[in-house]
């Protein structure tokens, strides 16, 4: 390893819906969906190159890098299709995963941020509890109503994040250690609220940015990479090796 050159350590993959081709609820933006078949084949291929770890293990991996790169699987918003179409695949392949839940959408049709197209249901409380009981699963915060946080007043930002985390804590009877910024948007006020929750929150993730590297020194702003039907392991390796000279 060359001194001072950032080194790629792994990826935090981001998904939303998991629907087969032609299913109702399919988002207009294809990047927001992965088919169950693609998810399973991606997991099978990735398992040769990457170690699948829990999101909460990432800070330790940044401090103590290993030779094998890691991969984390995350799902945003808390759509029912993750329970119906992805949960069994993740269990079958022993893949740890995190679902970031917008609690205002629990059990209702929730993708209000998609301007057009049909809507998919949010996870019910029962489904959330069943997923949470699986040792592979982590449930993280994602606000109540999925707003663009920097557009809100400080008190509203506080409410969106605190009440979401507290609702999840109450439903699941456990500490919530992870959070995803809706749309990846944050500013100084948002980070101040996150900082106030530092006794609970250990890892917060963005909606873009790609590879986690030895330069990723703020665990409240970790990058992610979208995983959809167009994502290939081959392209991932190529990008990791050329992007900013990562080794
Ligand atoms: Zn979201």
Domain range for 34 is 8-245
Please give the distance, rounded to the nearest whole angstrom, from the Cα atom of residue 20 to the centre of ligand 1: 20
Instruction: Say how far apart CA 213 and CA 210 lie, in whole Å.
Output: 9
Q: Is residue 133 part of a domain?
A: yes
Say which residue, 22 or 165, is predicted with more confidence: 165
The CATH number of the domain holding residue 17 is 3.20.20.370
Say which residue, 235 or 226, is predicted with more confidence: 226
Q: Is residue 1 part of a domain?
A: no
Please give the distance, rounded to the nearest whole angstrom, from the Cα atom of residue 127 to the centre of ligand 1: 19
Q: Is residue 72 part of a domain?
A: yes
Please give the distance, rounded to the nearest whole angstrom, from the Cα atom of residue 43 to the centre of ligand 1: 22
pLDDT tens digits for 127-136?
Answer: 999 999 999 9
The pLDDT value given to residue 204: 98
Please give the distance, rounded to the nearest whole angstrom, from the Cα atom of residue 16 to the centre of ligand 1: 8
What is the band of 116 on the pLDDT scale with cuts at 50, 70, 90?
Answer: very low
Q: Is residue 147 part of a domain?
A: yes
Please give the distance, rounded to the nearest whole angstrom, from the Cα atom of residue 39 to the centre of ligand 1: 19
Tell me: pLDDT of 82 over 90.
Answer: yes
Please give the distance, rounded to the nearest whole angstrom, from the Cα atom of residue 77 to the centre of ligand 1: 5
Please give the distance, rounded to the nearest whole angstrom, from the Cα atom of residue 193 to the centre of ligand 1: 18
Tell me: pLDDT of 140 over 70.
Answer: yes
Please give the distance, rounded to the nearest whole angstrom, from the Cα atom of residue 91 to the centre of ligand 1: 23
Instruction: Say how far apart CA 80 and CA 68 lie, in whole Å.
Output: 33
Q: Is residue 56 part of a domain?
A: yes
What is the band of 222 on the pLDDT scale with cuts at 50, 70, 90?
Answer: very high
Q: Which residues of 121-142 are buried (b: 16+ CB within 10 A; e: fewer)?
A: bbbeeebbeebbeeebbbbbbb
The pLDDT value given to residue 186: 97
**Cα angle: 147, vertex 153, 123; to 5 degrees:** 25
Bridge partners (DSSP) of residue 79 are 122
Please give the distance, rounded to the nearest whole angstrom, from the Cα atom of residue 7 to the centre of ligand 1: 29
Contact 224, 14 (CB under 8 A): yes
Q: Is residue 163 part of a domain?
A: yes
pTM of the model: 0.92
Please give the distance, rounded to the nearest whole angstrom, from the Cα atom of residue 237 to the centre of ligand 1: 26
Q: Is residue 59 part of a domain?
A: yes
Please give the distance, rounded to the nearest whole angstrom, from the Cα atom of residue 245 to the centre of ligand 1: 31
In SS3 terms, 169-213 reads as HHHHCCCCCEEECHHHCCCHHHHHHHHHCCCCCCEEEEEEECEEE
Tell me: pLDDT of 232 over 70.
Answer: yes
Residue 229: which residues within 8 A CB-CB, separation 6 or more? 30, 33, 34, 35, 38
Distance set, CA 155 to CA 91, 141, 152, 201, 206 (Å):
39, 18, 8, 19, 22
Please give the distance, rounded to the nearest whole angstrom, from the Cα atom of residue 14 to the centre of ligand 1: 10
Tell me: pLDDT of 247 over 50.
Answer: no
pLDDT tens digits for 13-49?
Answer: 999 999 999 888 788 888 999 999 999 999 999 999 9
The pLDDT value given to residue 107: 57
pLDDT tens digits for 185-213?
Answer: 999 999 999 999 999 999 999 999 989 99
Q: How many domains does the chain have?
A: 1
Please give the distance, rounded to the nearest whole angstrom, from the Cα atom of residue 54 to the centre of ligand 1: 19
The pLDDT value given to residue 24: 80
């Amino acid at each position: 390893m060359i001194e001072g050159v950032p080194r790629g350590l792994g990826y935090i993959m981001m998904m939303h819906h998991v629907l087969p081709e032609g299913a109702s609820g399919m988002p207009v933006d294809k990047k927001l969906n992965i088919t169950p078949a693609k998810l399973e084949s991606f997991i099978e291929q990735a398992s040769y190159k990457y170690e699948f770890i829990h999101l909460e293990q990432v800070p330790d991996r940044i401090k103590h890098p290993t030779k094998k790169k890691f991969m984390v699987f995350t799902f945003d918003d808390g759509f029912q299709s993750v329970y119906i179409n992805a949960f069994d695949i993740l269990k079958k392949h022993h893949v740890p995963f995190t679902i970031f839940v917008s609690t205002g959408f629990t059990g209702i049709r929730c993708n209000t941020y998609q301007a057009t197209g049909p809507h998919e249901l949010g996870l019910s409380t029962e489904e959330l509890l069943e997923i949470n009981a699986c040792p592979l699963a982590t449930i993280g915060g994602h606000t109540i109503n999925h707003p663009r946080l920097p557009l809100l007043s400080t008190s509203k930002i506080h409410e969106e994040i605190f009440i979401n985390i507290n609702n999840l804590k109450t439903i699941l009877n456990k500490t919530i250690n992870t959070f995803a910024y809706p749309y990846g948007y944050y500013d100084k006020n948002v980070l101040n609220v996150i900082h106030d929750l530092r006794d609970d929150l250990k890892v917060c993730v963005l909606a873009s940015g790609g590879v986690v590297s030895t330069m990723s020194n703020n665990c409240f702003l970790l990058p992610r990479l979208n995983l959809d039907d167009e994502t290939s392991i081959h392209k991932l390796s190529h990008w990791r090796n050329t992007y900013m000279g990562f080794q």
